[in-house]
Chain A
Amino acid sequence: MESSIGKVFKYLTILALIIASLWLVVLLKFIIALIVVSAVIAYILDPIASYMEAHGLSRMQATLLIFFSLGLTIALLFYLLVPSLLIELNFLQEGIGGSQASELINKLEQTIHKTIPVLSGQDLNLYEKLQGSLQNLAQSFFTIIVDIVSVLSTSIIIPFAVFFILKDGRKMKKNLVSVIPNKYFEMFLNLVHKVDLQLGGYLRGQFLDSLIIGLLAIIALWILGIKYFVLIGIFAGLANMIPYVGPLSGMVMAVSVVFLNNGSGQEIAWVLVAFAIIQLIDNVLVQPLVLARSVNLHPLIIIFAIIIGGEFFGIIGMLIAIPVTGILKVLSIEIYQSIKRFNLI
């Protein structure tokens, strides 16, 4: 038996440890974010490594092979896309300020006032909003791309971390399980496995889906000769993770770019057609194949999650809102079921 003083001391120590670790988390925010990103990337790549292992490679060889092919792909992408991306971003920052653009947006505002009487009383300030959001987007892209220090550290740390997590992930998992007390150990192991099954399918599916849609959008816009095609394509791919809102916003962005560059109605129509086709391909072909094991979320929950995500972390928050909600849902259901099955409540 412990004395009560000993108990209090123990709890205080635990509390102090928790506070200290939280403080550390805040201090090391950047590094932790990098590690999380690396873990997610490694997690997405894991089945590929397992597949290679099953075909006779060692884990080390599989990891190296994946790395070399990824490195080549990324180098190629950089070589092809980065110059045009930088030019696009520069254009974007200057291009929005044009007087033609403001006239067009004013026109747009008037049409909206006429067609939607509900909004007629309000001043929409579309121009400022659009300018603000585009500037923000460009700015955030810029900070990511131009900030040499973070780029260097990111481009060194992330591959390094991904490599080791991919190679030794199973050992790490085993070590994590080994510190769980005997009483909960089997339950924990099972929980990790269940969550892994659901989450793995979900994350990999989302990632693949976004990648395919992004590529399709880039190709389609490139064929149509739209300005900023790389940027819009990337955005459309990322936005595709957001149900309902995402596919639309990619389209809206493309249309508004055409609009701002004094595109003809025909061009706009083509862009709309292109996006409609991409959406069709996504809904009929890609999603049924890729998102077979997706997490079903109620539309209401999706909308709320997007709003909350946007409220806290802006555009990035909106992007990660649905995956995070999916993760939380899977986790909470599995934890609840495990606890119930093991009669802990």
Chain B
Amino acid sequence: MTEDPVWSNIFKRNKVQEENIFSVLKRLPIFQDLSYKELKAIERILHRRTYKADEVIFKEYEPGVGMYIIESGKVNITLGKENKLLVLLSTGDFFGEMALILEGQRTASASATEPTKLLGFFQPDLFNLLETSPKTGNKILQRLAQMIAERLRLGTIENRQLKTRMNQMKSKLDELKDK
């Protein structure tokens, strides 16, 4: 199975053992350029949320305004009515960062599979950050743009592969018809 370029954490690095919030934040691609002081400021504005097992974090088609970082626990990302499992995320992963840039509908649902602690980072927080400490905000924005570009690149490659496969299928089908 190829990984879903939007929802799986294609930016995951090797796990660090000590799991305090700073190491979690430092491992995130969008925060990787930040100094310790800046991370501390970020940590102050993040929203800490606790979820019970099986609790819904957000549903597909709901408007989303930001991203979640998993501080501890596991989160299922599922698609559609039949809850097709896209990916299972765990500590240090993040999801929903597209909504930071583009306010729009969530393209999948997320729910906690066990007691989970999440850190929320949302559009209003990002805007505030850009207003009060533009340097920090811009570092984050740049990383966000890179991530989205990377996802787009992967999506394009996948798209191209699918097209070639479709054409192969088509020609096979035509051969069968000719017979």
Contacts and interface: CB of A to CB of B under 8 A. Distances in A.
Contacts of A183: 56
Interface string A163-174: 000000010001
Interface in B18-75: 45, 47-49, 51, 55-58, 61-66
Contact of B124 (A182, A193, A341, A343): A193
Interface stretch (B76-84, B131-139, B150-158, B165-173): B131-139
Given A54-B133, A170-B128, A182-B57, A190 B51 contact: no
Contact of B49 (A53, A54, A185): A185
A54 B123 contact: no
B131 A50 contact: yes
Nearest to B135: A54
Nearest to A189: B122
A68 interface: no
Interface in A45-77: 50, 53-54
Nearest to A186: B65
B51 A182 contact: yes
Contacts of A342: 62-63
A189 B127 CA distance: 13
Contacts of B66: 186, 189
B24 to A, nearest CB: 19
Interface string A31-52: 0000000000000000000100
Interface residues of A, number: 20
Contacts of B45: 170, 174
Contacts of A170: 45, 128
Interface in A188-224: 189-190, 192-193, 196
B55 A50 contact: no
B55 A182 contact: yes
A341 B63 contact: yes
A178 interface: yes
A138 interface: no
A170 B41 CA distance: 12
A189 B65 contact: yes
Nearest to A177: B47
A92 B133 CA distance: 52
B48 A178 contact: yes
Contacts of B124: 189-190, 192-193, 196
B65 A190 contact: yes
B44 to A, nearest CB: 8
A53 B47 contact: no
Nearest to B96: A186
B45 to A, nearest CB: 7
B135 to A, nearest CB: 9
Contacts of B122: 186, 189-190
Interface string B97-139: 0000000000000000000000010111001100111100000
Given A178-B48, A186-B62, A186-B66, 6 more contacts: A182-B55, A189-B65, A190-B124, A193-B123, A193-B124, A342-B63
Across the A-B interface, the 4 shortest Cβ-Cβ residue pairs: A193-B124, A53-B132, A190-B65, A341-B63
Interface of B: 45, 47-49, 51, 55-58, 61-66, 120, 122-124, 127-128, 131-134
28 contacts: A50-B128, A50-B131, A54-B131, A54-B132, A170-B45, A174-B47, A178-B47, A182-B49, A182-B51, A182-B57, A183-B56, A185-B49, A185-B120, A186-B58, A186-B62, A186-B64, A186-B66, A187-B63, A189-B65, A189-B122, A189-B124, A190-B63, A190-B65, A190-B122, A190-B124, A192-B124, A193-B127, A343-B61
